Amino acid sequence: MQPHLVSAASARFVFASAIAYAMGGAPPPVAAQVVTPKTVPVQQGQQFDILPSSTAGMAGVSLALDDTVADALVNPAKATRVRTGRLFTAPFCHKISDRRGGGCAFPIGGMASSGRWSAAGVFALQQLDRSGPMADAPAISERTANNRYLGLSLARQMGRGVSVGASGHFAGLGAVDGVDLLYAGSDRIVQSGSSADVRLGILKEFSPARSLELLVVHNQYRATHDVHYTDVRFIQGVRQVLGERTQRNDDRTYIWGAHVAYARPLGTEGWRLGWVATMSKLTHPKIPEYDLRGFRPIPRDPGHTLGYHAGVGVSRTVARTTLGLDLLLEPMSTETWADAARDTAVAGGGMIPAGGKTIENSFRFSNTIMRAGFAHEWPERANGTALGVQFGLGLYAINYRLAQDNNVQRTFRTQQEHWMEWTPTFGVSLRGKMAEFRYNLTKTCVREVCIPIPLPFGQGDKVTVQEYVPPSVVAAPSEPLTFDGGTARTHKFSLHFLIR
């Protein structure tokens, strides 16, 4: 029995953010409410960046800063902070290098309050470009896929600064970025899936700048991959088709999570301190049999993950300039295994009964997230408009150790993997009396320089405010990783109409 590949999709939302952010791609703030593992540097988060954000250009700095736009949908209790109703649209396009994926989405939504009640909602349609090997002039259905996202939040002020809220985020997925890259040798993949994310939140505001929030999250992600292969051979340069086959892979992940965050002012000079703690428990009843270089698939491989976030952030606002810094530690443990389809002989004697574990994988993660952001807005002009600019840089350092027991061959091996994902961001805004316009650019890179300093940059989907949670990818490598997830770029425009 060979070491196997395990991949798990956790909908770090799909509205885990609304999905995985169904309202989340470039990372706005609130990025630590669901913790999911990733053992392969595949790009998947950008397509779920559905929500607009007021701090997206600051790399998603969020622990000591409030996001006046996204908070109402990420934590439903925060919808009570809505003082001015608004309608918004936030169209965006993302592209991953070398035809590894991409697409465009068109979200529309709004938020409003009446008395003690507040509500927010968003709906989005998305066209996703398919990646991976395809024959010449494939059918339209093989070149593109359609996704749909819906998110709703309802909250009520209970008095004494306490608010409670509930939200539901749902996604119908025709495809997810990166999946086509995980089945080497395939010539067609038909994907279908869905994600459902339910959240209950409590917010206690001691003062306008001091607050405590609690959040409970439950997320379910289901997907099916029908993978088509054509087996061929070449005899004296002539291609011969030996046959065709289709392999069905189910991807299931269920998440329960709890999130607590606290923020308070420091002194009277514009300083603010915030901290966050998050726990997520993921159950992977079915993991796809991915097939890529360095991995060998084994059927029937379930697993589970226990992940944590613990971090601190600081910000300072002086006049019209804001600086923010976040630092988070992300320890995680993931266990996956393969079940014996029948009684299996063990090297040296003995037997593993049907249903017993033939291979056991134990991952130990010690990841680190850092974000830094800067924002400045110039004074309002005579016509009531004001121009603003934002810059940010996010770093996601992934480090894990795999310990693998092969109970059939009676062998044991370990493997260490680590890589850096850098995400520079830029944003510009124009605010008027009745409307706001924002543009944000996020570039996530692999093996190239993203900003003019002599450092190699990786890709990074963590620096975002996802409402919808992207699927997690948990795979046990059998040799050093060589997988290249590509370079992604996201352009997002958002327009808000204020309702007085």
Q: Is residue 495 part of a domain?
A: yes
Percent of the chain with pLDDT over 70: 80
String of DSSP letters for 439-464 = EEEEEE-SSB-SSSSS--B---S-SS
Read off the pLDDT of residues 74-116 as tens digits, 9 standing for 90 and up: 889 999 988 888 999 999 998 887 777 789 999 999 999 999 9
438 pLDDT more than 80:
yes
- Range from 137-146, 202-211, 239-248, 271-280 carrying the lowest mean pLDDT: 137-146
What pLDDT score does 12 carry? Answer: 29
Q: How far apart are CA 51 and CA 58, in angstroms?
A: 15
Using CB atoms within 10 Å of the CB of residue 96, give its burial: 0 to 12 exposed, 13 to 18 middle, 19+ buried. Answer: buried
**At 19, phi and psi to the nearest 5?**
-155, -115
CA neighbours closer than 13 Å in the CB half-sphere of residue 456: 5
Read off the pLDDT of residues 2-53 as tens digits, 9 standing for 90 and up: 333 333 333 322 222 222 322 233 333 333 478 888 777 776 667 888 888 8
Q: Is residue 6 part of a domain?
A: no
State the sign of the Cα–Cα–Cα–Cα dihedral 48, 53, 57, 59.
negative
Q: How far apart are CA 177 and CA 144, in angstroms?
A: 11
Confidence of residue 317 (pLDDT cuts 50, 70, 90): very high
Q: How far apart are CA 291 and CA 245, in angstroms?
A: 15
**At 18, phi and psi to the nearest 5?**
-110, 5
State the sign of the Cα–Cα–Cα–Cα dihedral 286, 418, 331, 458.
negative
What pLDDT score does 139 carry? Answer: 56
Read off the pLDDT of residues 122-133 as tens digits, 9 standing for 90 and up: 999 999 886 554
Compute the C-alpha angle 441/445/448, nearest 5°.
120
What pLDDT score does 140 carry? Answer: 53
Q: How far apart are CA 188 and CA 132, in angstroms?
A: 8
**Better pLDDT: 447 or 123:** 123
Beta-strand relationship, 271-286 and 210-235: unpaired
Q: Which residue has the tokens 């927010």?
A: 120
Q: How far apart are CA 341 and CA 357, in angstroms?
A: 10
String of DSSP letters for 399-451 = EEEEEEEETTTTEEEEEEEEEEEEEEEEEEEEE-SSEEEEEEEEEE-SSB-SS
Q: How far apart are CA 425 and CA 177, in angstroms?
A: 21
Q: How far apart are CA 254 and CA 302, in angstroms?
A: 12
- Cβ atoms 134, 99 nearer than 8 A: no
Tokens, residue 117: 């009640």
What pLDDT score does 275 carry? Answer: 95
What pLDDT score does 445 carry? Answer: 72
Q: Is residue 4 part of a domain?
A: no
- Cβ atoms 9, 221 nearer than 8 A: yes
Q: How far apart are CA 212 and CA 202, in angstroms?
A: 8
Q: How far apart are CA 71 and CA 263, in angstroms?
A: 14
Q: At 17, which helix (H) or strand (E)?
A: helix 16-20
Tokens, residue 129: 């470009």
Q: Is residue 424 part of a domain?
A: yes
Q: Is residue 24 part of a domain?
A: yes
Confidence of residue 138 (pLDDT cuts 50, 70, 90): low
What pLDDT score does 292 carry? Answer: 63
Q: Is residue 356 part of a domain?
A: yes
The CATH number of residue 48's host domain is 2.40.160
Read off the pLDDT of residues 148-203 as tens digits, 9 standing for 90 and up: 999 999 999 999 999 999 999 999 999 888 787 778 778 888 899 999 999 999 99
What pLDDT score does 320 carry? Answer: 93
Q: Is residue 7 part of a domain?
A: no
Q: Is residue 487 part of a domain?
A: yes
Domain hosting residue 315, numbered range? 16-499
Using CB atoms within 10 Å of the CB of residue 331, give its burial: 0 to 12 exposed, 13 to 18 middle, 19+ buried. Answer: middle
Q: At 141, which helix (H) or strand (E)?
A: helix 140-143
Beta strands in 92-161 (DSSP E): 92-96, 101-114, 117-129, 144-159
Read off the pLDDT of residues 259-306 as tens digits, 9 standing for 90 and up: 999 999 998 889 999 999 999 999 989 888 777 654 555 455 688 999
Domains in the chain: how many in total?
1
Q: At 18, which helix (H) or strand (E)?
A: helix 16-20
Q: What is the pTM of this model?
A: 0.81
